[in-house]
Amino acid sequence: MDFNFTEDQLSIQAVARDFAQKRIAPVAAEFDAKGEFPLDNIREMGALGLMGIEVPVEYGGAGMDSVSYALAMIEIAAADCAHSTIMSVNNTLYCNGLLKFGTEEQKQKYVRPIAAGEAIGAFALTEPQSGSDATAMKLRAVKQADGSFVINGKKSWITSGPVAKYILLFAMTDPAKGPKGISAFLIDTAREGFHRGKTEPKLGIRASATCEIEFTDYRVGAEDLIGTEGEGFKIAMGVLDAGRIGIASQAVGLSRAAYEATIAYSKDRKAFGQSIGSFQMIQQKIADMKCKLDASYWLVLRAAWAKQQADKNGGKFSTEAAVAKLTASESAMWITHQAVQIHGGMGYSKEMPLERYFRDAKITEIYEGTSEIQRMVIARNETGLR
Q: How far is CA 360 from its chain centroid?
A: 13
Helices 232-268 and 318-343: crossing angle, nearest 10°? 30
Name the nearest CA neighbour of 151 among 232, 205, 236, 237. Answer: 232
Q: How far apart are CA 174 and CA 137, in angstroms?
A: 11
Q: Is 368 a catalytic residue?
A: yes
Any idea what DSSP says for residue 218? E
CA–CA gap between residue 283 and residue 291 (Å, rounded): 12
8 Å CB contact between 299 and 327: yes
How far apart, in whole angstroms, are the C-alpha atoms of residue 66 and residue 298?
Answer: 14
Distance CA 104, CA 99 (A): 9
Catalytic residue selected from 127, 320, 365, 368: 368
Residue 123, helix vs strand vs coil: strand
CB 229 within 8 A of CB 173: yes
The CA radius of gyration of the chain, in Å to the nearest whole number, is 21
Interatomic CA distance for residues 21 and 78, integer angstroms: 9
Active site residues: 368
